Every structure is written in structure tokens, then in C-alpha cells.
């Protein structure tokens, strides 16, 4: 049996679609019907008419799809794949920040659990964080959990006061050093530096372009340049090498930019999940209603 052909057959038989984030291994991206950044995946999960969504990503992404699609079953090939950033904050942390700053709007990065989202007013992703922050009608914003994305947004929206959660970040992006980026730039002086806003402030300051995974891909597709230094997880670079074979993509620190959580899913795991319908995301109805509100408010902006 050819496992990839079998996956295609099962998809048809079960009216299922496979969604994958850009950080997934290339062989998973190649099997997916929909590949995207976290905003695109949330939007597109809502718009498909499949009965089963097999979600290849970390578990907050599957949870977001399940919140948006109560009429569909969302299956995770690796339900144990969490997100280091989402694990940096609890619902109690958000409640504490709200008590200390009662007149603030709570903006919550989508890289968070449903229980944390349920405490927040509006979600954002790295593609729309600025737009969301500007849309808020209070003078003060509690921005959780990512202090790096939050600092970038705060620098672009100086008219508002921002409150952050201590220690909230992605340990993969946050630890990429400015020195390693500069070293790569010295080797490739004509390359543009493209940075995901989860990187620390020193790396963000070096960026020719700062954006989400999808925005980084689009930038490279539309650019007249041929060389790029990519400061985000390796999956994005792999995808661009496949999409744009004539352009050159450099990685400043291959070891640091590897998200082991995003790389847990193998083709066998995807096949078993689809065949046996395992790893279903189940969210209790009260929690679903509360956690859905900030996502829907974001999608309406
Ligand atoms: P995007 O919103 O750019 O897809 O990023 C998600 C993520 O997990 C970044 O580390
Ligand atoms: Fe989470 Fe960081 Fe992995 Fe993105 S790269 S999924 S933020 S741990």
C-alpha cells in the first residue's frame, strides 16, 4: 500500500480536508489541501464544507479551528504537540492583569489556549496585530502572551499604553541572536533580512521587513531581490525554496529556528489519525462560547 495514495483515498471517502501550518515538515505541507499562517488557517477552516478537519499544527491551532467549527470534527495527528509560547500564561495570570488594570482591553495573541482566550476581549495574529490594536477603543491595552510582538505593536501604536505579561514569548524566536543574523548579513550583504515579530527586539531592529509567516512568503515572491535571510522557523524557508527555486534563502541559526513541536507529525501519524479518527479536539460548550468571542471579534475587524 502506498500510504500517500491511501491518505488521498481516505480523504475523499470521509469528506475530510488536511490543513497544515507553514512550519510543518515539507512532506506534510505537500499532502495538505490548505497550507497557511495561523490567520489563514483559522479563516479557511471556517469556510470549508468538509465534515472532518485534520489539523497539522500545534494544538492551539486545532483548538481555534474547533472553536470556529462546532459542526465539524477537528482531529490532531499529534495532540501532544503544544506551543511553548501558549504555555507561558494561564487564565489566572490574565485575571490578575485585568484586576490590576481594570480599564484596559485584553488583546490576546492567537498562540494561547482556549482557557486563556476565554478571559480576553479580542484575539490577534502576527498578520493583524497592528490593525487589532488600533481598533481598540480604550487608552490602555493588556497584550498577552507575547512580549516581543507586544513591544513591536506598542512601538507602532504610541498613543496607547501597553501592559505585558512577564516572560511571555516563544523560546525559539526569542533566542535567535542579533549576532547570528549580522554574521549571515556579512556573508550575504545584498540579502534582505525578514523577521517574524516573535523575535526579540534586537533582531526585529535589523529587519528590512517584519511580518507573519504568510507575509514573509508574499514579500519574497513580490521582491525584485534574489537573496533573503529568514528569521523564523525553518519550515517557511523550506517552503520558499520549493516555491522559488531561483531565489536564495539563508538561515541565520538552523538549530535555534527549529520548532520541535511543529515537527512532531509524520506521514504515518497523519495516515493513522485520518484512518482511525483519533486525536479529536473536544471543548466544553461554556468554554467554547467564551473563547470564541475574541476570535470572532478579530475576524470581524
Ligand atoms: P503565524 O501567525 O505567522 O502563522 O505564526 C504562528 C507561530 O506559531 C509563529 O511562531
Ligand atoms: Fe509556538 Fe514558537 Fe513553535 Fe510558533 S515556533 S508554534 S510560537 S513554540
Fold for the domain defined by 3-82+262-282: Rossmann fold (3.40.50)
Nearest Cα neighbor of 297 from 143, 149, 110 is 110
| 76: its cell numbers | 490532531
CA gap 301, 202 in Å, rounded: 30
3-state secondary structure of 120: coil
Nearest Cα neighbor of 112 from 82, 139, 138, 140 is 82
Q: Where are the beta strands (DSSP E) in the chain?
A: 16-21, 34-36, 52-56, 73-75, 104-109, 122-124, 140-144, 161-164, 192-195, 209-210, 227-231, 248-250
As for ligand 2, residues whose beta carbon falls within 6 Å of it are 58, 83-85, 111, 170, 172-173, 198, 233, 259, 261-262
Domain ranges of the chain: 3-82+262-282, 86-169, 176-250
> Cα(13) to centroid of ligand 1, in Å?
31
Tens digit of each residue's pLDDT, the chain (301 residues): 899 999 999 999 999 999 999 999 999 999 999 999 998 998 899 999 999 999 999 999 999 999 999 999 999 999 999 999 999 999 999 999 999 999 999 999 999 999 999 999 999 999 999 999 999 999 999 999 999 999 999 999 999 999 999 999 999 999 999 999 999 999 999 999 999 999 999 999 999 999 999 999 999 999 999 999 999 999 999 999 999 999 999 999 999 999 999 999 999 999 999 999 999 999 999 999 999 999 999 999 9
> Cα(42) to centroid of ligand 1, in Å?
12
Task: Tell whether ligand 1 has an atom less than 6 A from the beta carbon of residue 198.
Answer: yes
Task: Tell whether ligand 1 has an atom less than 6 A from the beta carbon of residue 215.
Answer: no
Task: Tell whether ligand 1 has an atom less than 6 A from the beta carbon of residue 213.
Answer: yes
CATH 3.40.50.10800 for domain 176-250:
yes
Q: Identify which ligand lies nearest to the alpha carbon of 83.
A: 2
Nearest Cα neighbor of 91 from 114, 68, 57, 59 is 114
CA gap 136, 301 in Å, rounded: 10
- Identical fold between 86-169 and 176-250: yes
Which superfamily is assigned to 86-169 in CATH? NadA-like (3.40.50.10800)
Amino acid at each position: 500500500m502506498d500510504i500517500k495514495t491511501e491518505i488521498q483515498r481516505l480523504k475523499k471517502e470521509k469528506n475530510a480536508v488536511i490543513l497544515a501550518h507553514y512550519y510543518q515538515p515539507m512532506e506534510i505541507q505537500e499532502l495538505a489541501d490548505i497550507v497557511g499562517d495561523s490567520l489563514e488557517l483559522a479563516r479557511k477552516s471556517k469556510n470549508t464544507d468538509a465534515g472532518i478537519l485534520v489539523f497539522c499544527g500545534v494544538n492551539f491551532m486545532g483548538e481555534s479551528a474547533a472553536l470556529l467549527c462546532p459542526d465539524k470534527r477537528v482531529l490532531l495527528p499529534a495532540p501532544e504537540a503544544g506551543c511553548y509560547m501558549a504555555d507561558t500564561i494561564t487564565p489566572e495570570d490574565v485575571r490578575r492583569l485585568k484586576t490590576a488594570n481594570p480599564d484596559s482591553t485584553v488583546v490576546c495573541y492567537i498562540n494561547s489556549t482556549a482557557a486563556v482566550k476565554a478571559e480576553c476581549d479580542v484575539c490577534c495574529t502576527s498578520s493583524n496585530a497592528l490593525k487589532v490594536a488600533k481598533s481598540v477603543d480604550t487608552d490602555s491595552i493588556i497584550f498577552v502572551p507575547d512580549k516581543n510582538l507586544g513591544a513591536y505593536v506598542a512601538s507602532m501604536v504610541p498613543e496607547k499604553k501597553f501592559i505585558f505579561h512577564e516572560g511571555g514569548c516563544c523560546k525559539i524566536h526569542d533566542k535567535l541572536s542579533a549576532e547570528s543574523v549580522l554574521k549571515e548579513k556579512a556573508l550575504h550583504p545584498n540579502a534582505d533580512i525578514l523577521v517574524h515579530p516573535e523575535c526579540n527586539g534586537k533582531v526585529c531592529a535589523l529587519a528590512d521587513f517584519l511580518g507573519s509567516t504568510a507575509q514573509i512568503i508574499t514579500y519574497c515572491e513580490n521582491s525584485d531581490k534574489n537573496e533573503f535571510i529568514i528569521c523564523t522557523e525553518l519550515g517557511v524557508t523550506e517552503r520558499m525554496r520549493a516555491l522559488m527555486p531561483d531565489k536564495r534563502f539563508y538561515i541565520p541559526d538552523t538549530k535555534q529556528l527549529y520548532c520541535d513541536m511543529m515537527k512532531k507529525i509524520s506521514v504515518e501519524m497523519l495516515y493513522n489519525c485520518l484512518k482511525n479518527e483519533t486525536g479529536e479536539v473536544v471543548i466544553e460548550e461554556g468554554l467554547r462560547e467564551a473563547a470564541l468571542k475574541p476570535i470572532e471579534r478579530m475576524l470581524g475587524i
